[in-house]
Structure 1
């Protein structure tokens, strides 16, 4: 199993990624505000199922790749570093999307469609796939045991954090959205904090030793 210290770093990365603006968050907030908490929670259930789809694919894929082509780790790590730097830039670039930017043009969909859209929003979200492919190899090491079980451990950690944060967002979407609209200074603080953490994680990944 992966040591607690390494899991803590991964959890921090997962937390920063889940609070960064993206299709999942924008969809959940928009749906919660325009159609109510129940619809937001149904959409969240679909998004969580989409995460499980990615986790299973990545877990089986990494188990094969890391044993068959070990040196691919350095390539994936480099891509992960550049991806983190890209996200840090996206967080603070001028005219970037705000944390609670929402859509108001959503139709009043039934539960089945809400769930399906939630699944597809995650399955087709490149941010999710790149996160798993970039971060999993960095935290997985053969000396910790089964690569497959380590992948599942990371996946469960990420899903737990994502569910908790998004669940709270669904319950408080309208209030928090109104707060940020009235206090734009907090939006700037959030953006620069997010960028700083992403930069720190990128540097840590860049200076890490090869397996």
Structure 2
């Protein structure tokens, strides 16, 4: 529930695209979390922990992607007011889902979080380790899904109000772009040993 990159992106997408786009973003993040759960369960995240090169590649690709999304939002022209979720809205549910999934997949800090956090609760004497990883990862995913869905609906309502005020539409796009840029820069500046 702590504000972080997922929180910021769900709110930004919901305000500018409506609650349906926010929910698509939420499901995209959930898909990314599920992939990281699988990676952790089968030991693939260990590669990011042990290989500085693998960590740096994933980090730079993820940072570049977020910066690209931020610049795109900042440069986007808003010729007229559109209600979030309308046909004229600039982000589709499909693109919001895939952008969120890629953002999560390309964030090595998510992978390292799963590698550092979940093993504390794994007890080999209580059964198959892979099954325990999967249960814990899915529980984490469900809590995040419920919280982010709540944020998406709430922020989507704020977006409908904001769309009725033309100057706020421009501000919404700029804030969304700045959020994406900031997340990209933050990821680019992150260090493997600081996770």
Distance 1:61 1:14, change over 3 A: closer
In structure 2, list runs of 5 or more residues that go unmatched. 122-135
- Aligned-partner SS, 1:71: helix
In structure 1, list runs of 5 or more residues that go unmatched. 1-6, 29-43, 108-117
Which residue matches 1:70? 45
Separation (CA, whole Å) in 1 of partners of 2:95 and 2:25: 7
Which residue matches 1:17? 9
- 2:10–2:26 Cα contact (<8 Å) kept: no
Spell out the pairing of 1:181-196 with structure 2 (5 A cutoff). Answer: 190=175, 193-194=178-179
Cα deviations by residue, 1:38-85 (Å, 9 ceiling, x for unpaired): xxxxxx3x4465456546644544333212123344547742553234
- Aligned-partner SS, 2:164: helix
How far the C-alpha of 1:198 sits from its partner, in A, is 1.7
- 1:19–1:99 Cα contact (<8 Å) kept: no
Distance 1:16 1:103, change over 3 A: same
Q: TM-score, normalised by structure 2?
A: 0.57
How far the C-alpha of 1:207 sits from its partner, in A, is 0.8
Task: Kindly tell me the number of residue pairs found equivalent between the two proteins.
Answer: 168
- 1:26–1:101 Cα contact (<8 Å) kept: no
- Is residue 97 of structure 1 aligned with residue 87 of structure 2? no
How far the C-alpha of 1:190 sits from its partner, in A, is 3.5
- Is residue 201 of structure 1 aligned with residue 180 of structure 2? no
Q: TM-score, normalised by structure 1?
A: 0.53
